[in-house]
Amino acid sequence: MSSASTATIFLLLAIAATTTFCHQELEKSENFRTQTDQASEALAFNVKSGKGLKRRKPNGKLLTSWNPANSKADYVVAQDGSGTHKTINDALAALDKTGGNRRNQRVIVYVKAGVYNEKVVIKKNMEKLMFVGDGIDRTIVTGNRNAKRDGYATHETATFGVHADGFWARDMTFENTAGPDGRQAVALMVSSEQSVVYRCSFKGYQNTLYVRSKRQFYRDCHIYGTIDFIFGNAAVVLQNCDIFVRKPNENQKNVIVAQGRKGPDENTGISIQGSRIRPAPDFIGVKNIPTFLGRPWRKYSRTVIFETDIDGFIDPAGWLPWDGSVHLNTLFYAEYNNIGCGASTEHRAKWPGFHVFKSWKEASPFTVNKFIKGSSWISQTGVSYKLGV
């Protein structure tokens, strides 16, 4: 049987299962979880809609082809002393002494398995930096800075902050363990033009992933949080990602996206394509705590979710006001071709700025090809991506 046929069969099984039950019950079975992961991959990149464009396959480029067994890193971080440095910050200090970007060459930092309790800042002069770990939940960068108890500004809470362009990362976990009481507590903050993050995990509660500015692409990542946990004002596309909503405090609501577009001419927004929105294990079966897809952080907030599997725990209204009727006429929110128990738009918010796209042409402006013009720079990494709808 061909791989395409197998993918199609998995897709049909997933759709049938989703229609009958919903993920909250079925995810209790580890066997079903494996099947839905495979089926969702088929959904995201094998179902064709209209005049969709073919996805690009890995081409052996550096981010995907680099292998610790036979590839060379400029810096190796290992807590046991087997590398060039024992901490990430020591490696970055050594890099900084060379002039940061080493004459515009790609610099590779390999971080071996371990838990690195560090506040990391990639300065602007450290362009074209590539971080590679030993895998999600094996190489972990952790911290617990937060706004409530420590009094930091939101951007200062980031466990790992990136200010240099051309940042790439693979096979790492970035976390902030401040918990649901810490309010703003960022795990990863990125202000990096043409940044690509692949097979990484971001764990936090409020404000986990801060896509602060510039063009960014995330592929095959896991994102955990409670309130506004994907937020910022970058032009960003997330493809084939798993978005896990955690259990908040009893008096809180969950909100996934808080996009911060300030003006109508800004080419920014958050685009979620071919992904999965699910409850985290600690939130499965929890009742009376509503969860929403997003809310408008700024006046011209813009978020589009399409070709995505949305679980039934999402509130039927889908979207939550920020403060009464503020921004509801100027925001731009849209959904298209989603599946799952939470994908119905029948009872969605009746706002002037909310749209249900009728065709792939309406969703096309929010793709890798048109929204972030990613064909040339993502292909350099070797990471798979889908150009269109």
Residue 377 lies in a domain: yes
Residue 10 lies in a domain: no
Q: Are 307 and 19 in contact (CB under 8 A)?
A: no
Residue 55 lies in a domain: no
With H, G, I as helix, E, B as strand and everything else as coil, classify residue 179: coil
Residue 35 lies in a domain: no
375: tokens are 């064909």
Angle between helix axes 3-20 and 30-46 (nearest 10 degrees) is 120
Asked about 165 being catalytic, the answer comes back as no
Residue 366 sits in which domain range? 226-381
Identify whether residues 150 and 262 lie together within a single domain. Answer: no
The structural domain count of the chain equals 2
Q: Which helix (H) or strand (E) holds 72?
A: none
Q: Give the domain CATH number at 234.
A: 2.160.20.10
Last residue of a domain, one of 130, 153, 185: 185
Active-site residue, from 220, 228, 242, 311 = 228
Identify whether residues 268 and 341 lie together within a single domain. Answer: yes
Please report, as a single letter, which amino acid is at residue 386.
Answer: K
Identify whether residues 175 and 240 lie together within a single domain. Answer: no
Q: Per-residue pLDDT tens for 14-57?
A: 444 443 445 443 343 333 333 334 433 433 333 333 333 333 33
The percentage of the chain sitting over the pLDDT mark of 90, rounded to a whole number, equals 80
Please report, as a single letter, which amino acid is at residue 151.
Answer: G
What is the spatial distance between Cα 301 and Cα 116, in angstroms, rounded to a whole number? 35
Q: Per-residue pLDDT tens for 201-226?
A: 999 999 999 999 999 999 999 999 99
Identify whether residues 126 and 238 lie together within a single domain. Answer: no
Residue 217 lies in a domain: no
Identify whether residues 75 and 175 lie together within a single domain. Answer: yes
Identify whether residues 79 and 169 lie together within a single domain. Answer: yes
DSSP letters spanning 242-295: EEEEPP--TT--EEEEEE---STT---EEEEES-EEEE-GGGTT--S--EEEE-
Instruction: Check residue 101 and give its pLDDT.
Output: 52
321: tokens are 């006001």
Identify whether residues 175 and 231 lie together within a single domain. Answer: no
Identify whether residues 248 and 171 lie together within a single domain. Answer: no
Q: Per-residue pLDDT tens for 123-136?
A: 999 999 999 999 99
Q: Are 371 and 269 in contact (CB under 8 A)?
A: yes
Does residue 329 surpass a pLDDT of 80?
Answer: yes
Identify whether residues 324 and 232 lie together within a single domain. Answer: yes
More confident residue, 11 or 387: 387
With H, G, I as helix, E, B as strand and everything else as coil, classify residue 197: strand
What is the spatial distance between Cα 276 and Cα 35, in angstroms, rounded to a whole number? 13
Q: How confident is the model at residue 102 (pLDDT cuts 50, 70, 90)?
A: low
With H, G, I as helix, E, B as strand and everything else as coil, classify residue 325: coil
Residue 299 lies in a domain: yes
With H, G, I as helix, E, B as strand and everything else as coil, classify residue 378: helix
286: tokens are 């929890």
Identify whether residues 237 and 91 lie together within a single domain. Answer: no
Residue 8 lies in a domain: no
Last residue of a domain, one of 185, 213, 238: 185
What is the spatial distance between Cα 187 and Cα 7, in angstroms, rounded to a whole number? 34
Identify whether residues 275 and 174 lie together within a single domain. Answer: no
Quick check: pTM over 0.85? yes
With H, G, I as helix, E, B as strand and everything else as coil, classify residue 211: strand
What is the spatial distance between Cα 240 and Cα 44, in angstroms, rounded to a whole number? 7
Last residue of a domain, one of 164, 185, 206: 185
Identify whether residues 282 and 144 lie together within a single domain. Answer: no
Residue 181 lies in a domain: yes
What is the spatial distance between Cα 78 and Cα 218, in angstroms, rounded to a whole number? 26
